[in-house]
Amino acid sequence: MEMVRFGVSMSPKLLERFDESIAKKGYANRSEAIRDLIRESLVEMEWETGDEEVVGTITIIYSHTTRELADKLTDFQHQAHQVIISTLHVHLDEHNCLEVMVVRGKSNLIREISERLISTKGVKHGKLTMTSVGDKLA
């Protein structure tokens, strides 16, 4: 891949803090850290536009012993089958289940599905991770 070099000016104090933070995260050099920051910002923009196709994961924790909850969640996943493309289920202990759903589609719709799942009564915790199909990230 062709690479372009460019210069960045900033205060020594800010650069020092940046170097410290990327060293903690394990970056070998500033270039890779800056590329990742730019990608992160591009992914955020993809999600903001609403009608771009994006990818993400929705993680939920719930108790399968809560009355009718497991059935309700499964029904909803069937309704949303065009967006929820895969589901991983882990039985955490006697009562608790963890589910990770891989979602792909328009970001507005994914947000809506995620909010509906997480706000379902009996879901103890939930999180949407927003990422990208990757083709625009180089």
Q: Report in angstroms how near the CB of residue 63 gets to Ni ion at its nearest.
A: 9
* Angstrom distance (rounded) from CA 58 to CA 38: 24
Q: Which is nearer to Ni ion, 70 or 130 (CB)?
A: 70
Tell me how far, at minimum, the Cβ of 97 lies from Ni ion, in Å.
Answer: 3
Q: How far is the CB of 62 from Ni ion (least distance, A)?
A: 9
**Looking at beta carbons, which residue is closest to Ni ion?**
97
Residues lying near Ni ion in the complex (CB under 5 A): 64, 91, 97
Q: Which two tokens stand for residue 86?
A: 């895969």
**Can you name the residues that pair with 56 across neighbouring β-strands?**
103, 130
Do 131 and 36 form a contact (C-beta atoms < 8 A)? Answer: no
Q: Report the nearest approach of Ni ion to the CB of residue 93 (Å).
A: 9
Q: Which is nearer to Ni ion, 34 or 118 (CB)?
A: 118
Which residue, 57 or 87, has its beta carbon nearer to Ni ion? 87
Measured from the CB atom, is 64 or 111 closer to Ni ion?
Answer: 64
Q: Which is nearer to Ni ion, 91 or 125 (CB)?
A: 91
CB of 136 to Ni ion, least distance (A): 37
